[in-house]
Amino acid sequence: MSDPEIVVSAPGKVILFGEHAVVYGRKAIAASLDLRTQLKIHLIPDSTAVTLELPDISLSNTWQVADLAAAQPTGNVDVKNPSPPSDKYLAALHRLAGTDTDHTDTRTLALLAFLYMYTSIHHTTVRKCPAGRFHAASQLPPGAGLGSSAAYCTALAAGLLTMCNVISRPEGKTWSKEDLEVINAWAFQGEKLIHGNPSGIDNSVSTFGDAISFKSGKISPFESVAALKILLVNTKGPRSTKVLVQGVRDRYNRLPAIMEPILDSIEEISCTCERVLLELGGSPVDGQENTQGKNYQILEELVDICQCLLNALGVGHPSLDQVSSITAKHGLHSKLTGAGGGGCALVLLRPDTAPDVIDKVTAELRDCGYDVWETSIGATGVSQHSQPK
Amino acid sequence: MSDPEIVVSAPGKVILFGEHAVVYGRKAIAASLDLRTQLKIHLIPDSTAVTLELPDISLSNTWQVADLAAAQPTGNVDVKNPSPPSDKYLAALHRLAGTDTDHTDTRTLALLAFLYMYTSIHHTTVRKCPAGRFHAASQLPPGAGLGSSAAYCTALAAGLLTMCNVISRPEGKTWSKEDLEVINAWAFQGEKLIHGNPSGIDNSVSTFGDAISFKSGKISPFESVAALKILLVNTKGPRSTKVLVQGVRDRYNRLPAIMEPILDSIEEISCTCERVLLELGGSPVDGQENTQGKNYQILEELVDICQCLLNALGVGHPSLDQVSSITAKHGLHSKLTGAGGGGCALVLLRPDTAPDVIDKVTAELRDCGYDVWETSIGATGVSQHSQPK
């Protein structure tokens, strides 16, 4: 803890293909989204207070380090293989957060994840609680299915583990594979506090970056993936993932023989995407421009077909149709990402998509009241931004 | 030929489910469309002329009966099992039509179908050509994939065969099963002259009414089918069936593993539709209102899903999206019918769909420049409208 300041960032995620189908054991592809949550940790040795500032949700809490130390777990914590807090420990965290155990609002959950990781990680090492200021801000809209909570937990885990020298401060931007595994394990524990029973996709993508495939509970990161330019569109319509998932289940129960092959087709889209992304991510060699163009064409076709199949599952929405219609008019291809029924859509861009086309589409989508980001997927996972002083 | 006037009508057809998938051996469902082509035959014993009037295509041709008689085939014609005209016979028909054998425009084809059926059918019986006036007018837009040529050929076959007493004048509106088979055989020959290599779906539906399933070249009429109320919408966009079929083939060749299950799903939609239509067509008994409501709900869901899957095949069009969007806004369900890429859409109505909803939807669709008919499918096949005088 010789360094007074650490700055880390962790990306969000998008589901590229396979949303909903994944519930029925089909393969899904998720990729990191280069909208990031940045965490600045500023240690203040002379102070006795710890402050957490989350301006995105208007949260600023300060605790005395003595109170935080008192809440630390009494037994040993395996820093490489963390486990969920005991009921007693969780109750202590709730007291620090100033909430009851039945509070599950965003601010309470953000406080709990911080308090849990802060107290546990320090307990495994220095067994005391250093004073300082923790400031996290995100480019990710919360509650939009873009993994904002996982990016928060991953950034917290990376910052705290590095601050305590559980993992080595990396020479470049990112950590060794082994250290990333430790970050991911802690981020997953944070996600569990927030979501109860998360799949682990979000924290894995936020930690390792690039893309992963996910099938029947098994997460398989890709070796090398191209960073794809996209527009991310948030239609901001109210939606409930639970209601949408149940709607697909109801349709499946009514018409299983019709729905099964649709899910099979979506799985094949995920498999084709995986192959194409690996090809696009390979080192380019002379004469491969045509292959690249062909692969982008296939990706565009996968986006179009998958969007139609998601509509067939019943998770479309007029706002998403509007996104499709606007982007198609300009020769671009888009699909919903995540639960659907409103929410977010991604618009695939080619490396050579003309800037004025991007500007026009962005302007038209904003005119509809939607938020639009020009960003990329397949970006670097959790990263360090400050060097040792 | 004791009756100087005969009036018959024959319906068009719509593909309910399975368009395009049928090309890949999957089951399709076609139903009769209660937009009809009416043929009036007025015999004029004292005259020596035959006149054909087709006001829809601004056609009015008159021939001397002696010229028509001269063109009649020389050999025997099996009136119950007709065969295509010989090259010599076809050349004679072209001379009567005033065209070369390479003319394939709508008017030439309409003339040839009439001349072929008129001369052949009379040759099999009276071996002379009676004078009179043949007037055919249709509610069906031509070239919209609604079987207008089959309705024309079916009406011609029914009128001519009845006039010549090849089949008995029916007591009610329609003929016996055996007589309908003869009408259908002649209508198919007319369709062959017009289309070269038709599937036989259109003339079968126009002859027998109700609905048929079609798979791998085999046509199976349904025993009993409910007449369903629909709005038929013609978006009138230019389209080429050949180009659309080729587009699906190209996508299939690029992505067979993705496309195969989509086609499987469409086949299951056709199978489910067949079952639901048979249930809806059965005699209602007490307490079946709920079953009927449930069956309509399933039909609506099939319409929605199939429209999405047709989009996934790549045969959608912004105009069809607009139809879907307008109808969905009013709680109605629509899909393209036929080749897609513009063309026609059908909008399912329930028996209790409120008239003001129908009026509003119709008005909005017409405001887009589309033609809209409130009609039904599963209607009676070829019918007689005049009784013997």
B248-267: pLDDT as tens digits? 999 999 999 999 999 999 99
Segment A320-343 mean pLDDT: 96
pLDDT score, position A101: 77
Closest-CA distance of chain B to residue A161, Å: 44
Indicate whether A133 pLDDT > 80.
yes
DSSP state of A106: H
Does residue B123 surpass a pLDDT of 90?
no
Mean of per-residue pLDDT scores for chain A: 92
The answer, for B322 touching chain A at a CB cutoff of 8 Å, is no
Distance in angstroms (rounded) separating the CA atoms of residues B139 and B364: 22
Cα gap A325→B89, rounded to integer Å: 53
Q: Is A149 a catalytic residue?
A: yes
Report domain B230-376's class: alpha beta
Distance of CA B171 to the CA centre of its chain: 24
SS3 A366: helix
Q: How far is A375 from chain B (nearest CA, A)?
A: 27
Chain B residue numbers with beta carbons less than 8 Å from the beta carbon of A254 are 298, 301
3-state SS class at A165: coil
Provide the residue type at A41 as one letter: I
Task: Name the more confident of A287 and A323.
Answer: A323
Does B298 contact A at CB distance below 8 Å?
Answer: yes
- Domain boundaries along the sequence of chain A: 4-225, 230-376
pLDDT band of residue B284 (cuts 50, 70, 90) is low
Do B308 and A312 make contact, defined as CB atoms within 8 angstroms?
yes
Give the residue with greater pLDDT, A287 vs A72.
A72
pLDDT at A122: 86
Closest CA to A105 of A149, A156, A154: A149
| Pair type for strands B28-43 and B211-215 | antiparallel
Indicate the residue type of A347: V
pLDDT of residue A226: 75
pLDDT of residue A340 exceeding 50: yes
Nearest to A262 among B265, B311, B316 (CB): B265
Mean pLDDT for A367-377 is 97
Residues B131-176 pLDDT 10s? 999 999 999 998 889 999 999 999 999 999 999 889 988 888 999 9
Cβ separation B265–A259 shorter than 8 A = yes
Tell me whether residues B309 and A309 touch, CB distance under 8 A: yes
Please give the residue that has the higher pLDDT: either B46 or A346: A346
More confident residue, B100 or A93: A93
Element (H, E) at A296: helix A289-313
B32 contacts B206 by C-beta, under 8 angstroms: yes
The residues of B assigned a catalytic role are: 149, 202
pTM reported for the whole predicted model: 0.91
- Helix (H), strand (E), coil (C) string for chain B: CCCCEEEEEEEEEEEEECCCHHHHCCCEEEEEEEEEEEEEEEECCCCCEEEEEEHHHCEEEEEEHHHHHHHCCCCCCCCCCCCCCCHHHHHHHHHHHCCCCCCCCHHHHHHHHHHHHHHHHHHHCCCCCCCEEEEEEECCCCCCCCCHHHHHHHHHHHHHHHHCCCCCCCCCCCCCHHHHHHHHHHHHHHHHHHHCCCCCHHHHHHHHECEEEEECCEEEECCCCCCEEEEEEECCCCCCHHHHHHHHHHHHHHCHHHHHHHHHHHHHHHHHHHHHHHHHHCCCCCCCHHHHHHHHHHHHHHHHHHHHHHHHHCCCCHHHHHHHHHHHHCCCEEEEECCCCCCEEEEECCCCCCHHHHHHHHHHHHHCCCEEEEEEECCECCEECCCCC
Give the pLDDT mean for B310-330. Answer: 96
User: For residues A137 and A9, what is the distance between their CA atoms, to the nearest angstrom?
Assistant: 9
- What is the band of B1 on the pLDDT scale with cuts at 50, 70, 90? very low
Q: What is the dihedral of CA A221, A223, A227, A232, to 10 degrees?
A: -10
Residues 6+ apart with CB under 8 A from A84: A189, A192, A193
The residue that leads in pLDDT, B307 or B224, is B307
Partner B contacted by A217 (CB < 8 A): no
List all residues 6 or more positions away from A325 whose beta carbon is below 8 Å from its beta carbon: B318, B321
Question: How sure is the predictor about B289, in pLDDT bands with cuts at 50, 70 and 90?
Answer: low
Q: Is the pLDDT of residue A283 over 70?
A: no
pLDDT above 90 covers a percentage of chain B that reads 77
- A180 and A174 in contact (C-beta within 8 Å)? yes
Residue A162 burial (C-beta neighbours within 10 Å; 0-12, 13-18, 19+): buried
- pLDDT tens per residue across span B32-90: 999 999 999 999 988 999 999 999 999 999 999 999 998 888 778 888 899 999 999 99
pLDDT number for residue B3: 47
Whether the CB-CB separation of B213 and B28 falls below 8 Å is answered with yes
Q: Which of these is catalytic: A9, A148, A149, A204?
A: A149
Per the model's pLDDT, the better-predicted residue between A180 and A101 turns out to be: A180
SS3 content of chain A, % helix, strand, coil (to 5): 45, 20, 35
Task: Provide the token pair at A46.
Answer: 């002379």
Contacts for B103 with CB less than 8 Å, ≥ 6 apart: B94, B97
* Distance from chain centroid for Cα A297: 27
Q: What is the mean pLDDT of residues A41-51?
A: 93
Residue pair A227/A376 in contact (Cβ under 8 Å)? The answer is: yes
Q: How confident is the model at residue B206 (pLDDT cuts 50, 70, 90)?
A: very high
* B211-225 per-position pLDDT tens digit: 999 999 899 988 666
Average predicted confidence (pLDDT) for chain B: 92
Collect all residues with Cβ–Cβ distance below 8 Å to B308 and sequence separation of at least 6. A308, A309, A311, A312, A316
Q: Considering chain B, what percentage of its residues have pLDDT values greater than 70? A: 95
In the prediction, which pLDDT does B171 show?
85
**Alpha carbon separation from A48 to A61, A206, A261 (Å, rounded):** 14, 32, 61
The whole-angstrom separation of Cα A150 and Cα A199 is 11
Q: Which of B188, B198, B196 is nearest to B156 (CA)?
A: B188
Binning pLDDT at 50, 70 and 90, where does residue B389 land?
very low
Element (H, E) at A83: none
The answer regarding whether domain B4-225 maps to CATH 3.30.230.10 reads: yes
List, as ranges, residues 326-365 from B with C-beta within 8 Å of A: 328
| Residue A219 φ/ψ, nearest 5 degrees | -100, 125
| Total number of residues shown for chain B | 389
Mutate to test the interface with A, among B308, B323, B334 (most CBs of A within 10 A): B308
Among the partner residues A261, A304, A318, nearest to B265 by beta-carbon distance = A261
- C-alpha A39/C-alpha A56 separation (Å) is 12
Note every long-range contact of A47-52, with CB atoms under 8 Å and residues 24 or more positions apart, other chains counting: A47/A131, A47/A132, A48/A131, A49/A131, A50/A118, A50/A129, A50/A130, A50/A131, A50/A132, A50/A133, A50/A134, A51/A132, A51/A133, A51/A134, A52/A111, A52/A114, A52/A134, A52/A136
Place of tokens 């499987």: B264
A52: closest CA among A155, A196, A168, A194? A155
Out of B269, B271, B309, closest to residue A308 by CB: B309
Helix (H) / strand (E) containing A372:
strand A371-377
Higher-scoring residue by pLDDT: B226, A56: A56
- Note whether B311 contacts A: Cβ–Cβ < 8 A: yes
Residues of B within 8 A of A268 (CB-CB) are 255, 257-258, 261
